[in-house]
A and B are shown apart, each in its own frame.
Chain A
């Protein structure tokens, strides 16, 4: 099922010079873009500041930057691609848009559709809007009554603050400087928006896409954001190298959860094979607030996702989980980062991945516990299931603890399907292929059970089944078969 939409975008000025690439950002271009889109001067200034940061940086180098050690940026990310712009749509150009989770949300509070850097459609349910929910383009927000809030928080987690915030790499300054489609979500104090807010970003053309999302939930507010990435099967687009995807999606999401707020972020990535996806999805979690983040990573040639939480208020908590499933040629790098910066903060991190074919996953689970974060509690686990020979999973928990009075646990395991499980199911008449399917789905269920969004869980499950269906089950290797009893 697909939807046709008209992607004509009026009002964007023609470019006097060739569109810059991720590697050739320049002042004049950013200035004209800010002017053409009616951005307030403070926002234009922010972009210029970010550009100057960007100018002083070089691209990530796996030899120099520990966080990029297992993902060769230069080899996988095509920085020579031009920034995507609505200007090169012609007027009657229509594209088939993929359908995903967001299309199936039950009575969403709002939906946003982004296509190739353009904010095409923003809908907010009237009754939620009447109660104060704001879902609007980021530029509109910055130019309107929300300017103060946007100004206070946009970039607050990428350019200032704690941990890596102050020393982000060039992928982040590139987004700070040249983000395109922006979305602002604001939930006023004590408003519990339990209906989901769906944001769907489509890639239909090669080039550099830089979405930017800012979510603020005031004290005792509730928000549930489903952020979905789709599209990216671009057909015969020439590549500069076999492993460099012609579309690059470089995203930054900032979430501010004020005191006692409850924010869920579900990030579903079903990109096609022509996308390299880099994302920082970071939350500042204030006193007694909870942020739950779930990433479902299934698509894309290269993915590097950083789900992060700065636990800045006492009693703040983060529950971060994810699943990923690679097949032939995919490279996924998942790096959650939990920063315990106040007392009695808790984080619970659980990521599970399955791999098949010639593919690679990297998990680096970072936890930092500040010396003031007394009484904090962190638990971090990563499990990987290698289905066929040739796949490789690296898993590193990384704990930096300055405070003695805390509880910290972590676990990491990478293995094959357990032969005992397989025998048990087969001994009950279940064919090997069906048994393998049950075991793999079961493996992921522990994570999927954490989402109380049936639509998302069902979609994730269907996607996992799709991945399993692609697996040559005859090639699946299981752990060494040991006799069950000493008898």
Chain B
């Protein structure tokens, strides 16, 4: 059984149906890529998995370890092991990065990690992602560049040790150096205890984070599925092919 099972999911946002019956399985140890043009519903799926209150499940199920999580709050989902790296991480004024991370880690791991140990883990993870220590003095995402925000998302993923990570357009807005650092960070976290869903418009992140499966979403449905070669096909032919045949 896959840890995350999406079953015929339909989602409504602001009164419109954005997902129209999506079925997808993600198990630990696997990496899936979900590709599609803007407006196809990729991010909607991501937010629905994370439990954003604006995304209403109108049909189908999201199962995590066999349990329907529709009624779980976002924090319950994260503590259970579902992580969303956001496309647009928000600034939380006045909340220090250190305080935020420590609160989150303690909540997720359900323990009060000694400060020294926590800071040790934090410094290691920051150095892996080439994040300067001066960030520790800053507020969450405040004044971060686009690339810094994305690195910070992956830093959180490293510290929170999820079972399932959904990466929503983590590659967008990154220059090639930042993309490499972030991608290598993601790649280093992959392993038998983590399932990753990489949501992306372009294939470039997939050169670093090779997926086991590629799924193509259009108009709120998955219209094609295949192996990594499918991504190359999309690189060559774009999404128009699917638009025509849909």
Interface residues of A (CB under 8 A from B): 418-421, 423-432, 434-435, 438-439, 441-446, 481-487
Task: Select the residue from A421, A425, A431, A487 with max chain B CB neighbours within 10 A.
Answer: A487
Of chain A, the residue at the smallest CB distance from B75 is A426
Check B75–A442 contact: CB distance below 8 A: no
- Does B95 have its Cβ within 8 Å of any Cβ on chain A? yes
* From B38, B50, B100, contact of A487 by CB (8 A): B38
Which residues on the A side are within 8 Å of B140 (C-beta)? 424
Q: Which of B32-54 contact A (CB under 8 A)?
A: 38-44, 47, 50-54
Which residues on the A side are within 8 Å of B103 (C-beta)? 430, 434, 438
**Minimum distance in angstroms from A94 CB to a CB of chain B:** 42
The verdict on A424 contacting B92 (CB below 8 Å), with A429-B78, A483-B55, A487-B39 known, is yes
* From B47, B92, B94, contact of A444 by CB (8 A): B94
* From B14, B39, B47, B107, contact of A430 by CB (8 A): B107
A486 to B44, CA, bound (A): 9
List, sorted by A's number, 11 A–B pairs whose CB atoms are closer than 8 Å: A427-B74, A428-B108, A429-B160, A430-B75, A434-B103, A442-B139, A483-B14, A483-B54, A484-B47, A485-B87, A486-B39
A438 to B14, CA, bound (A): 29
Q: Which of B42-87 contact A (CB under 8 A)?
A: 42-44, 47, 50-55, 73-75, 77-79, 84, 86-87
Interface residues of B (CB under 8 A from A): 13-14, 38-44, 47, 50-55, 73-75, 77-79, 84, 86-90, 92-96, 99-100, 103-104, 107-108, 139-140, 156, 160
Check A487–B40 contact: CB distance below 8 A: yes
A-B contact count (CB 8 A): 114
A438 to B99, CA, bound (A): 9
* From A442, A483, A485, contact of B92 by CB (8 A): A442
Check A487–B74 contact: CB distance below 8 A: no
**Minimum distance in angstroms from B136 CB to a CB of chain A:** 15
Of chain A, the residue at the smallest CB distance from B52 is A423
A446 to B73, CA, bound (A): 30
Of chain B, the residue at the smallest CB distance from A444 is B94
A446 to B92, CA, bound (A): 12
A434 to B104, CA, bound (A): 10
Check B86–A424 contact: CB distance below 8 A: yes
Which residues on the A side are within 8 Å of B13 (C-beta)? 483
* From A424, A429, A438, A485, contact of B108 by CB (8 A): A429
The verdict on A430 contacting B104 (CB below 8 Å), with A446-B94, A483-B14, A487-B38 known, is yes
Of chain B, the residue at the smallest CB distance from A449 is B94
* From B42, B43, B94, contact of A484 by CB (8 A): B43
**Minimum distance in angstroms from B206 CB to a CB of chain A:** 19
* From A423, A427, A482, A487, contact of B44 by CB (8 A): A487
Which residues on the A side are within 8 Å of B54 (C-beta)? 481-484
Which residues on the B side are within 8 Å of A420 (C-beta)? 90
Check B74–A423 contact: CB distance below 8 A: yes
Check B95–A439 contact: CB distance below 8 A: yes
Check A428–B53 contact: CB distance below 8 A: no
Check B94–A427 contact: CB distance below 8 A: no
A486 to B39, CA, bound (A): 7
* From B40, B53, B99, B108, contact of A423 by CB (8 A): B53
Check A485–B73 contact: CB distance below 8 A: no
Which residues on the A side are within 8 Å of B55 (C-beta)? 483
Of chain B, the residue at the smallest CB distance from A478 is B53
Check B39–A427 contact: CB distance below 8 A: no
Check A425–B92 contact: CB distance below 8 A: yes
Check B93–A428 contact: CB distance below 8 A: no
Check A431–B92 contact: CB distance below 8 A: no
**Minimum distance in angstroms from A418 CB to a CB of chain B:** 8
A445 to B41, CA, bound (A): 38
Of chain B, the residue at the smallest CB distance from A434 is B103
A41 to B54, CA, bound (A): 73
Check B92–A421 contact: CB distance below 8 A: yes
**Minimum distance in angstroms from B43 CB to a CB of chain A:** 4
* From B50, B52, B74, contact of A483 by CB (8 A): B52
A444 to B44, CA, bound (A): 33
Which residues on the B side are within 8 Å of A431 (C-beta)? 75, 107
The verdict on A481 contacting B53 (CB below 8 Å), with A420-B90, A434-B107, A486-B39 known, is yes
Of chain A, the residue at the smallest CB distance from B104 is A428
**Minimum distance in angstroms from B70 CB to a CB of chain A:** 16
**Minimum distance in angstroms from A415 CB to a CB of chain B:** 12
A421 to B44, CA, bound (A): 18
Closest 7 pairs (CB-CB, A-B): A442-B94, A445-B94, A429-B78, A442-B95, A487-B43, A426-B74, A428-B104
Of chain A, the residue at the smallest CB distance from B110 is A429
A441 to B96, CA, bound (A): 10
Which residues on the B side are within 8 Å of A486 (C-beta)? 39
The verdict on A487 contacting B78 (CB below 8 Å), with A420-B90, A424-B89, A429-B160 known, is no
Check B99–A427 contact: CB distance below 8 A: no
**Minimum distance in angstroms from B234 CB to a CB of chain A:** 17
A446 to B140, CA, bound (A): 13
Check A487–B75 contact: CB distance below 8 A: no
**Minimum distance in angstroms from B97 CB to a CB of chain A:** 11
A430 to B55, CA, bound (A): 20
Check A441–B75 contact: CB distance below 8 A: no
